[in-house]
Structure 1
Amino acid sequence: MNQVRIPNQRAIIDRRAIGAAIAELVARDGAGARPEIVALLRGALDDGRAEVARRLEEKPSAGHECCAGQAFLVDQLVRLIHDHVVRDVYPSGNRSTGERLSIMAVGGYGRAEMAPHSDVDIAFFTPTRRAPWCEQVIEAILYFLWDLGLKVGHSSRTPDDMVRMAKEDLSIRTSLLEGRFLWGDNDLYDESRKRFFAEVVAGTERKFLSEKLEERNARHKRMGDSRYVVEPNVKDGKGGLRDLQTLYWIGKYIHKVRSGADLVEAGLLTRLEYRSFRRAETFMLAVRCHLHMITGRAEDRLTFDLQRQVAQRMNFADRPGKSAVERFMQLYFLQAKRVGSLTGVFLDHIDQQFAQRRSRRGLLAGFTTRPRWVKGYRVNGGKIEAPTDDWFAKDPARLIEVFQIAEAEGLEVHPATMRQADRDSGLITSAVRKDPRANALFLDLLTGRNDPEKVLRWFNETGVFGKFVPDFGRVNAQMQFDMYHHYTVDEHTIRAIGLLSRIERGELVEDHPRASRLIHQVASRRAAYVAVLLHDIAKGRGGDHSVLGAEVAEELCPRFGLDQGETDLVAWLVRYHLLMSATAFKRDLTDPQTIENFVAEVQSVERLRHLMMLTAVDIRAVGPGVWNSWKRQLLGELSDAAQERLRLGHMPHRRKERVAYKKETVAGLMGENSHMIDDFGKLFGDAYWIAEPEEIIARNLVQFSVARSREEELSIHCEYDEGRGATLVTIIASDHPGLFYRIAGGIHLAGANIIDARIHTTRSGWAVDNFLIQDPLGKPFREPGQIDRIKRSISDALANRIELVPRLAKRPLPHSRARTFDVRPRVLFDNEASNRFTVIEVNARDRPALLNRLARSLFEFQLVVYSAHITSYGERAADNFYVTDLLGNKITSAERLRSIEGALLDAASDERQAELEEA
Structure 2
Amino acid sequence: MSSRFASLPHRRAIIDRRTLAEALDAIEGSDRTKLRQAATKALKAALIAGRAEIEARLIAHPSRGLEIAASQAFLIDQILRLLYDFTTQRLYPLSNPTAAEKLTLVAVGGYGRGEMAPYSDVDIAFLTPWKETPWHEQVVETMLYSLWDLGLKVGQSVRSIDEMVRQSKSDVTIRTALLEGRYVWGEQDLYDEASRRFKAEVQSATERTFIAEKLAERDARHKRMGDTRYVVEPNVKEGKGGLRDLHALFWIGKYVYNVQTASQLVETGLFSRAEYAQFHRADNFLWAVRCHLHAIAGRAEDRLTFDMQRDIAERMRFADRPGKSKVERFMQYYFLQAKAVGNLTGVFLAHLDEKFAARGRRFGLPTLRRRPSKLHGFVLDRGRLALPNDNFLIEKPTRLIEMFVLADRHEMEIHPLAMRAAARDAKLVDDIRRNPEANALFLDLLTSRHNPELALRWMNEAGVFGRFVPDFGRVVAQMQFDMYHHFTVDEHTIHAIGLLSRIEKGELQEDHPLSHAIMKQIASRRVLYVAVLLHDIAKGRGGDHSVLGAEVAMRLCPRLGLTPAETETVAWLVRAHLLMSATAFKRDLSDFKTILDFAEIVQSPERLRLLLTLTVVDIRAVGPGVWNGWKRQLLTDLFEAAEEVLRLGHKQKGRSERVTAKQESVAAALGWDAKAFAKTVKKLPESYWVAEPEDVLAANLRLIAGAGTAPLSIATSVERDRGATLVTIYAADHPGLFYRIAGAISVAGGNIIDARIHTTRDGMALDNFLVQDPLGRPFDDSGQLARLRRAIEDALANRNKLTDRLKAKPPPRPRAEAFDISPAAFIDNHASNRFTVVEVNARDRPALLHQLAHALFQSKVTIHSAHVATYGERAVDTFYVTDLTGDKIDTASRVKALERRLVEAASGEAFREAA
Shared fold, TM over 0.5: yes
In the alignment, what sits opposite 2:768? 770
| Offset, 1:910 | 4.5
In the alignment, what sits opposite 2:566? 566
In the alignment, what sits opposite 2:753? 755
In the alignment, what sits opposite 2:206? 204
Q: In 2, distance between residues paired with 1:758 and 1:856?
A: 17
In the alignment, what sits opposite 1:404? 405
Residue type of the alignment partner of 1:554: M
Q: In structure 2, the residue corresponding to 1:817 is in which secondary structure?
A: helix
Residue type of the alignment partner of 2:192: D
Contact 1:868 1:880 in 2 (8 A): yes
Q: In 1, distance between residues paired with 2:32 and 2:727?
A: 76
Residue type of the alignment partner of 1:897: V
In the alignment, what sits opposite 1:516? 516
Q: In 2, distance between residues paired with 1:662 and 1:832?
A: 29
Q: In 2, distance between residues paired with 1:540 and 1:411?
A: 35
Q: In structure 2, the residue corresponding to 1:434 is in which secondary structure?
A: coil
| Offset, 1:97 | 0.4
Which 4+ runs in 1 deviate beyond 4 A? 27-31, 356-359
Q: In 2, distance between residues paired with 1:670 and 1:370?
A: 63
Q: In 1, distance between residues paired with 2:36 and 2:92?
A: 13
Q: In 2, distance between residues paired with 1:91 and 1:724?
A: 74
What do residues 453-484 of structure 1 show as CA deviations (whole Å, max 9, x unaligned)? 11111100011111110000000000001000
CA gap 1:676/1:241 in 2 versus in 1, 3 angstroms: farther
Question: 222-231 vs 825-834, which deviates more?
Answer: 825-834
Q: How does 1:302-317 map to 2 (within 5 A)?
A: 302-317=304-319
Question: 391-400 vs 182-191, which deviates more?
Answer: 391-400
Contact 2:132 2:160 in 1 (8 A): no
CA gap 1:16/1:757 in 2 versus in 1, 3 angstroms: same
Q: In 1, distance between residues paired with 2:146 and 2:32?
A: 16
Contact 1:407 1:455 in 2 (8 A): yes
2:874 equivalent to 1:842: no
What do residues 243-293 of structure 1 show as CA deviations (whole Å, max 9, x unaligned)? 000000011111111110111111111110000000000000000000000
In the alignment, what sits opposite 1:463? 463
What do residues 744-786 of structure 1 show as CA deviations (whole Å, max 9, x unaligned)? 1111110001111111111111111111111111111222212
What do residues 590-620 of structure 1 show as CA deviations (whole Å, max 9, x unaligned)? 1110110000010001101111110000000
Contact 1:26 1:88 in 2 (8 A): no
Q: In 1, distance between residues paired with 2:78 and 2:253?
A: 29
Q: In 1, distance between residues paired with 2:653 and 2:801?
A: 45
What do residues 812-863 of structure 1 show as CA deviations (whole Å, max 9, x unaligned)? 1221211111111111111111110010000101112211111011111111
Contact 1:234 1:288 in 2 (8 A): yes
| Offset, 1:380 | 2.6
Q: In 2, distance between residues paired with 1:571 and 1:2?
A: 61
In the alignment, what sits opposite 2:826? 828
Q: In 1, distance between residues paired with 2:814 and 2:329?
A: 24
Contact 2:109 2:123 in 1 (8 A): yes
Give unpaired runs (5+ residues) of structure 1: 360-368
In the alignment, what sits opposite 1:588? 588
What do residues 322-374 of structure 1 show as CA deviations (whole Å, max 9, x unaligned)? 11110000000000000000000100110110015679xxxxxxxxx997000
Q: In 2, distance between residues paired with 1:2 and 1:102?
A: 19
Match for 2:862 among 837, 861, 864? Answer: 864
Contact 1:2 1:259 in 2 (8 A): no
Residue type of the alignment partner of 1:758: R
Q: In structure 2, the residue corresponding to 1:26 is in which secondary structure?
A: coil
| Offset, 1:34 | 3.0
Contact 1:629 1:723 in 2 (8 A): yes
| Offset, 1:33 | 3.3
In the alignment, what sits opposite 2:365? none
Residue type of the alignment partner of 1:765: G
Match for 1:782 among 776, 780, 783? Answer: 780
| Offset, 1:239 | 0.2
Residue type of the alignment partner of 2:122: V
Residue type of the alignment partner of 1:578: L
CA gap 1:371/1:104 in 2 versus in 1, 3 angstroms: farther
Contact 2:381 2:415 in 1 (8 A): no
Q: How does 1:117-266 map to 2 (within 5 A)?
A: 117-266=119-268
Q: In 2, distance between residues paired with 1:676 and 1:577?
A: 47
In the alignment, what sits opposite 1:381? 382
Q: In structure 2, the residue corresponding to 1:501 is in which secondary structure?
A: helix
Q: In 2, distance between residues paired with 1:525 and 1:739?
A: 50
Q: In 2, distance between residues paired with 1:357 and 1:707?
A: 77
Question: 377-386 vs 571-580, which deviates more?
Answer: 377-386
| Offset, 1:672 | 3.8
Q: In structure 2, the residue corresponding to 1:696 is in which secondary structure?
A: helix
| Offset, 1:30 | 7.6
TM-score (norm 2): 0.97
Contact 1:805 1:849 in 2 (8 A): no
Q: In 1, distance between residues paired with 2:3 and 2:390?
A: 31
Match for 1:811 among 809, 812, 830? Answer: 809
Q: In structure 1, the residue corresponding to 2:510 is in which secondary structure?
A: coil
TM-score (norm 1): 0.97
| Offset, 1:685 | 1.2
What do residues 422-471 of structure 1 show as CA deviations (whole Å, max 9, x unaligned)? 00111122x31111111011101111111111111110001111111000
Contact 1:370 1:380 in 2 (8 A): no
In the alignment, what sits opposite 1:348? 350
| Offset, 1:914 | 4.4
CA gap 1:90/1:486 in 2 versus in 1, 3 angstroms: same
| Offset, 1:36 | 2.3
In the alignment, what sits opposite 2:367? none
In the alignment, what sits opposite 1:427? 428
| Offset, 1:2 | 9.6
Match for 1:890 among 888, 891, 896? Answer: 888
2:600 equivalent to 1:600: yes
Q: In 2, distance between residues paired with 1:844 and 1:696?
A: 30
Q: In 1, distance between residues paired with 2:845 and 2:304?
A: 24
In the alignment, what sits opposite 2:28? 26
Q: In 1, distance between residues paired with 2:868 and 2:372?
A: 59
Q: In structure 2, the residue corresponding to 1:265 is in which secondary structure?
A: coil
Contact 1:715 1:731 in 2 (8 A): yes
Q: In 1, distance between residues paired with 2:675 and 2:247?
A: 74
| Offset, 1:403 | 0.7
CA gap 1:478/1:893 in 2 versus in 1, 3 angstroms: same
What do residues 279-318 of structure 1 show as CA deviations (whole Å, max 9, x unaligned)? 0000000000000000110100001111101111101111
Q: In 2, distance between residues paired with 1:637 and 1:840?
A: 22
| Offset, 1:866 | 0.6
| Offset, 1:115 | 0.5
Q: How does 1:445-594 map to 2 (within 5 A)?
A: 445-594=445-594
2:411 equivalent to 1:413: no
2:38 equivalent to 1:36: yes
Residue type of the alignment partner of 1:817: R
Contact 1:676 1:705 in 2 (8 A): no
CA gap 1:476/1:898 in 2 versus in 1, 3 angstroms: same
| Offset, 1:45 | 0.2
Give unpaired runs (5+ residues) of structure 2: 362-369
In the alignment, what sits opposite 1:281? 283
Q: In 1, distance between residues paired with 2:146 and 2:760?
A: 78
What do residues 191-213 of structure 1 show as CA deviations (whole Å, max 9, x unaligned)? 11111111111121111111111
Equivalent pairs: percent with the same residue?
60
In the alignment, what sits opposite 1:269? 271
Residue type of the alignment partner of 1:409: H
| Offset, 1:810 | 2.5
| Offset, 1:75 | 0.2
Q: In 1, distance between residues paired with 2:620 and 2:309?
A: 25
In the alignment, what sits opposite 2:729? 731
Q: In 2, distance between residues paired with 1:380 and 1:339?
A: 24
Q: In 2, distance between residues paired with 1:588 and 1:34?
A: 74
